[in-house]
Amino acid sequence: MTELTYSAIIAAAKLGFRALGQSITMSGLENLPRRGGALVALNHVSYVDFIYGGLPVVRIGRRPRFMAKRELFDHRITGPIMRACRHIEVDRADGESSLAVALDYLRRGEIVGIFPEATISRAMEIKQLKTGAARIAHAAGVPLVPVVVWGTQRMMTKDHPRDFSRGKAITITLGPPVPLTGEARPDTAALKAALSELLDGAIRSYPQHLPGAWWVPASHGGSAPTLEESVRLDAAERAARRAGHRPT
């Protein structure tokens, strides 16, 4: 029943892509293993990244299991879906337990998706990464595949209204597995470098690039916050959350 539910969701998503008239381009599929475990590490610019970031795995006939925040599992609508698809609940207060679950999935030959930035990048660039991706990939002995999604931020991201108008281009780029040494910090730095290089290429080749746009990084001529500014905005958001309200 679980895989039937997953298949139905994939079919519905594909209908949605067609209804939105989206042009979805994927490259680097040869970097995904056809069998055995793998950890795909994705950049994070949108609330819908996991939908598009999972498409390469689906394209090769497999099913990704994403690590996702606990709130999605607690929600009355998304919760049953997340559990039916066997995604992995991440409790920010107990992150190590979710890493253990991911490790078990990988050792059993699953493909697991992770967002090592942990939260959406307001800068639209690669933020500081958590070390969990490098640690569990090395512990499981599986490839760590960097994946960059671009264009999804135009639909649904932080600080901007939703826009599901037709015709948006989405690009998904996979790089070769990141060599791992077992040293968490150097391996995480290598992953960040790989993601940054993929992202730079995705932005430069994006068919609907618009200089000055809010969804383009400042480093590429856009008006998105810089990485330094985004750090301050993220801190303000966390402070507002602790105070019990959202920032205006």
User: What is the Cα–Cα distance from 121 to 130, expressed in whole angstroms?
Assistant: 13
> What sign for the dihedral angle of Cα 24, 171, 16, 7?
positive
For the segment 93-137, what is each residue's pLDDT rounded down to a tens digit? 666 778 889 999 999 999 999 999 999 999 999 999 999 999 999
Residue 237 falls within a domain, yes or no? no
Band (78; pLDDT cuts 50, 70, 90): confident
Please compute the mean of the pLDDT values over residues 223-244 and round it to a whole number: 93
Band (246; pLDDT cuts 50, 70, 90): low
User: What is the Cα–Cα distance from 172 to 43, expressed in whole angstroms?
Assistant: 10
Neighbour-count burial for 112-133, b at 16+ CB within 10 Å, e otherwise: bbbbbbbebbbbbbbbebbebb
For the segment 206-223, what is each residue's pLDDT rounded down to a tens digit? 999 999 999 999 999 999
Q: What is the pLDDT of residue 73?
A: 85
Residue 151 falls within a domain, yes or no? yes
User: What is the Cα–Cα distance from 99 to 147, expressed in whole angstroms?
Assistant: 19
Residue 220 falls within a domain, yes or no? no
Q: What is the pLDDT of residue 2?
A: 64
Number of domains in the chain: 1
pLDDT for residue 243 is more than 90: no
Count the Cβ atoms, other than its own, within 10 Å of residue 234. 18
Residue 54 falls within a domain, yes or no? yes
Residue 241 falls within a domain, yes or no? no
User: What is the Cα–Cα distance from 177 to 28, expressed in whole angstroms?
Assistant: 11
Asked if 187 and 81 count as a contact pair (C-beta separation under 8 A), the reply is no
Could you tell me which residues are beta bridge partners of residue 65?
112
Dihedrals phi, psi of 67, to nearest 5 degrees: -85, 125
Q: What is the CATH number of the domain that holds 53?
A: 3.40.1130.10
Tell me what the pLDDT averaged over the chain comes to.
93
Q: What is the pLDDT of residue 1?
A: 47
Of 16-25, 190-199, 233-242, which range is least confident?
A: 233-242
Range of the structural domain that residue 16 is part of: 2-210
Residue 162 falls within a domain, yes or no? yes
Q: What is the pLDDT of residue 36?
A: 97
Residue 123 falls within a domain, yes or no? yes
Residue 228 falls within a domain, yes or no? no
Q: Kindly state the percentage of the chain with pLDDT values over 90.
A: 80
